[in-house]
Amino acid sequence: MLLNHTLRSAKLPTNASAFCWHADSAPQTAPSDSQDRCTQLSYTILMTYNYSICHPDKETIEYKTLPISDREVLEIAENYPWIEKMELYDSLNASETFYNPSLDFKCINNGRRFCLTAQYDDNKNLTFSLWYSRPKKVKIFFGLLGEKEKMRVDDVWSIDKNDSLKFLEYFVNGNYPAIESLYNA
């Protein structure tokens, strides 16, 4: 989600953390020397995330609370040892197994969540269930009392790794309609 704001400043240092946003190409660039004396600067609030990890052999969910960027979200999911975690999952007795391997990413800015949970299909191919939590309007008392926005979770199963990562990329890029299409199919 890109939010435009106006920053009023008498002098903007060249190493400022504000970023410029151009609607046609949406690059994010640091202010140049020519922007030192800005009176208005349009910038994008960068989305940040935190995440949790469900390990097959640990009862306690591991929470990573330090904010991370969209790029870091994608790197973590791409580089996570999914196969090794599934092998661990398969090697445990049922009484020792707590979760399927999962990464649950939460956007700190808007509260939306996207979770990837690994499992094997019938042919022992790695697949994922995708869980998407977002605000959704729901009718109160069959719509007689209006609508209210509540967080809702939808899930879809048996998605391969490449497609799962594609939908995670949609999530961090704020392309929520593309994710919704997965659940409306």
DSSP 88-139: HHHHS-GGG-----EEEEEETTT--EEEEEEEE-TTS-EEEEEEEEEEEEEE
Q: Which residues of 77-105 are buried (b: 16+ CB within 10 A; e: fewer)?
A: beebebeebbeebeeeeeeeeebbbbbbb
Q: What is the pLDDT of residues 164-181, one digit of tens each?
A: 999 999 999 999 999 999
60 closest CA partner among 99, 93, 86:
99
Residue-wise pLDDT tens digits, 110-135: 999 999 999 999 999 999 999 999 88
How many CB atoms are located within 10 Å of the residue 123 CB? 6
Query: According to the model, what pLDDT value does residue 8 have?
Result: 29
3 state DSSP class of 180: helix
Pairing of strands 20-21, 49-54: unpaired
